[in-house]
Homo-oligomer: A and B are copies of this chain.
Amino acid sequence: MWVGFFLGDVVTNKQVIFKNFVEGFPKETDMYVKTSSISLSVEEGSNAVLVKNLYLSCDPYMRTQMTLIEDPTDLSSFVLGSPVEGFGVAKVVDSAHPDFKKGDLVWGFTRWENYSLIKNPQGLFKINHTDVPLSYYTGILGMPGMTAWAGFFEICAPKKGEYVYVSAASGAVGQLVGQFAKLMGCYVVGSAGSKEKVELLKNKLGFDDAFNYKEENLVSALKRCFPKGIDIYFENVGGKMLDAALLNMRNRGRIAVCGMVSQYNLSKPEGVHNLMLLLEKRIRMEGFVVFDFFHQYSKFLDTVLPSIREGKIVYVEDIAEGLENAPAALVGLFNGRNVGKQVVIVSRK
């Protein structure tokens, strides 16, 4: 037994290790790549699953895990000296859990390494549809897709003809919110941080208009794009962007607070000054966490998969190759280097 264990099972395992807690913007050197080894078999009766990671997801929320979270609720800090954790697509190599068997494709919570032993696979979903790119399960068919879907349809309660504004609009979530809004018959404007992204929004993702938030006064740009005001603001940015949007909201507007990426790297978040407008304009502003909607995943798939197959929704990905390039890909999220959903390919099969 002891000899067999070493002979058949153990392989090298490249890992992206979290090195230190971060202040301000994260740097590549806050992580490092190391090689260790891992047994590819799972202890019987353990409920664990051993997966080979194929695609890893870089998501803005991961910034919060790079800071020490004193009192964790949904998310804990990354563990110093351990691999970065996040969403990914993986293949089951061995399983002691009745729901998973060798060869299954899954998406969900995994770690940034070649192989991961998932002791509690409750955070894994089986992939049953493989006629779409597997990487989509890190984006449009995974957590960001669910985020856009739940945030837009459940929190924003959109109506046909309404005016919708999406910040960080070319990102993993924003590009979908805009397309969902267009399918609903809304008028949609997005903002992004480069000319290339603005063109993408207008020419590929079907937004009615878009502007570069780095090159325009936010209040004027929103006034120009929404002369009648904003009914729905899908908030990914926070700070000054929220203040500007508040100034241009319509009566009974809704603000879905999905993220505040402009604030994640500040030691103290910016003050938001225009909240009195919530009152005058009867605005509802509501935060949400996608985990609360995961029980609706199959309903979500039934809606979104046909739209992908029929070409009614497209999805833009930014692909990095290899675990070595994963730290730069993650860090790039926070200076807007990525165009579309940032994915890291660990292995294509």
Residues of A within 8 A of B (CB): 73-74, 238, 242, 251, 257-260, 263, 268-289, 292
Contact = CB atoms under 8 A, between A and B. Distances in A.
Contacts of A288: 279, 282
Contact of A287 (B258, B268, B270, B281): B281
Copies of this chain held together in the complex: 2
Given A73-B251, A251-B73, A270-B271, A276 B289 contact: no
A278 B287 CA distance: 5
B287 A286 contact: no
11 contacts: A73-B280, A74-B280, A268-B273, A271-B271, A271-B272, A272-B275, A277-B287, A278-B285, A278-B287, A279-B287, A284-B284
A80 B285 CA distance: 36
A147 to B, nearest CB: 11
A260 to B, nearest CB: 5
Nearest to A74: B280
B271 A273 contact: yes
Given A271-B270, A272-B271, A273-B270, A287 B292 contact: no
B286 A283 contact: yes
Nearest to A269: B273
A285 B286 contact: yes
A244 to B, nearest CB: 14
A74 B277 CA distance: 13
A142 to B, nearest CB: 19
Contacts of A273: 268-272
A238 B263 CA distance: 21
Given A73-B251, A251-B73, A278 B286 contact: yes
Contact of A275 (B238, B283, B284): B238
Nearest to A252: B292
A73 B273 CA distance: 20
Contacts of A276: 238, 260, 263, 269
Contacts of A284: 284-287
Contacts of A259: 279
- Interface core residue of A258, A276, A279, A281 (most chain B CB under 10 Å): A279
Contacts of A258: 279
A66 to B, nearest CB: 15
Pairs of residues from A and B, 10 with the lowest C-beta to C-beta distance, nearest first: A271-B271, A278-B287, A279-B287, A284-B286, A285-B285, A257-B278, A269-B273, A257-B279, A272-B272, A260-B276
A240 to B, nearest CB: 11
Contacts of A292: 282
A279 B251 contact: no
A280 B257 CA distance: 10
A64 to B, nearest CB: 8
A258 to B, nearest CB: 7
A296 to B, nearest CB: 15
Contacts of A280: 73-74, 287, 289
Nearest to A251: B73
Contacts of A73: 251, 280
Given A281-B287, A284-B284, A285-B285, A257 B275 contact: yes
A278 B286 CA distance: 7
